[in-house]
Chains A and B, each alone.
Chain A
Amino acid sequence: KAGVTQTPRYLIKTRGQQVTLSCSPISGHRSVSWYQQTPGQGLQFLFEYFSETQRNKGNFPGRFSGRQFSNSRSEMNVSTLELGDSALYLCASGSGVGLSYEQYFGPGTRLTVT
C-alpha cells in the first residue's frame, strides 16, 4: 500500500507571496491533518479534514487555510507569507472513523521564505 505523498518536497518563496501544498493520503484513509514543524515550536497542529469538511483547527492565523477533495486529497494554502512561516509542513492521514487515531505522516514539504 502506498504511503502518504506530499508535493512539492522543497519550495522557496518570497515574503508576501502565497503558496499551495498538496497531500495525497493512504488509500482508504479519509482524514488528513496538517502540521507545521519548526526547531523552536516543534510539531504544531494546523487543521484536520474529513470527508471534505474541516473537523478540527489549531491556533494559526487565517492566512493558513486548507481544503479536501472528494478523493481525500488535500491542499494547504498560506497567503501573505512571512519569514516565520519557514518550516517543514507535514501531512498525516488516518482512517478517521471509530476510535482509531493513529496517523501516518508524509515526508513533508520544506518551505523557505526569504
Chain B
Amino acid sequence: QKEVEQDPGPLSVPEGAIVSLNCTYSNSAFQYFMWYRQYSRKGPELLMYTYSSGNKEDGRFTAQVDKSSKYISLFIRDSQPSDSATYLCAMTAGGFKTIFGAGTRLFVKA
C-alpha cells in the first residue's frame, strides 16, 4: 500500500463547476500538507500549504485537512479552462522528505 493515495483521474468538468480533489494517507506522522499544480512540461507550482486539521482558503481554492480520517481535499470554485492541469497532493512529517500522490489530471471544458 502506498503512503499516499490519489486517484489519477482524469477528471473532466464544465467551466464554472466546483472541483473536489482528494488524497488519503496512511502515515499518522504526516503533519504538513501541500497541493501543487503542474502544467504539461512544467515543474509543480505550490498552490496551498496547511498545517494541522481544518480549512484554509485562498481565492477560489480551499484546502481541507481531516487528520482523524487521514484525508485531505482541495476544492476549486468557479473552475476555469486555465485550471486544467495535474494536481498533486504532498505531505511530510517534518523536513523536506516530501511524499507526493500520483496526481489527478483535471480537464475544465469551456
Contact = CB atoms under 8 A, between A and B. Distances in A.
B94 interface: yes
A90 interface: yes
A90 B97 CA distance: 14
A31 B97 CA distance: 11
Interface in A47-81: 48, 50, 55-56, 58
What interface size band does chain B fall in? 20 to 34
Contacts, number: 64
A43 B34 CA distance: 14
Contact of B100 (A42, A55, A94, A107): A42
A104 B46 contact: yes
Given A90-B43, A102-B46, A106-B43, A42 B101 contact: yes
Interface string B23-41: 0000000001010100000
Contacts of A58: 97
Interface of A: 4, 31, 33, 35, 42-45, 48, 50, 55-56, 58, 90, 92, 94, 96, 99, 101-108
Given A99-B32, A105-B36, 20 more contacts: A42-B88, A43-B88, A43-B90, A43-B103, A48-B95, A48-B96, A48-B97, A56-B95, A58-B97, A90-B43, A99-B94, A101-B32, A101-B34, A101-B92, A101-B94, A102-B46, A103-B98, A105-B44, A106-B43, A107-B42
B88 A102 contact: no
B45 to A, nearest CB: 7
A51 to B, nearest CB: 13
20 contacts: A31-B96, A42-B102, A42-B103, A43-B44, A43-B90, A43-B100, A48-B97, A50-B96, A56-B95, A56-B97, A92-B43, A99-B32, A101-B32, A101-B98, A102-B49, A103-B98, A104-B46, A106-B43, A107-B42, A108-B42
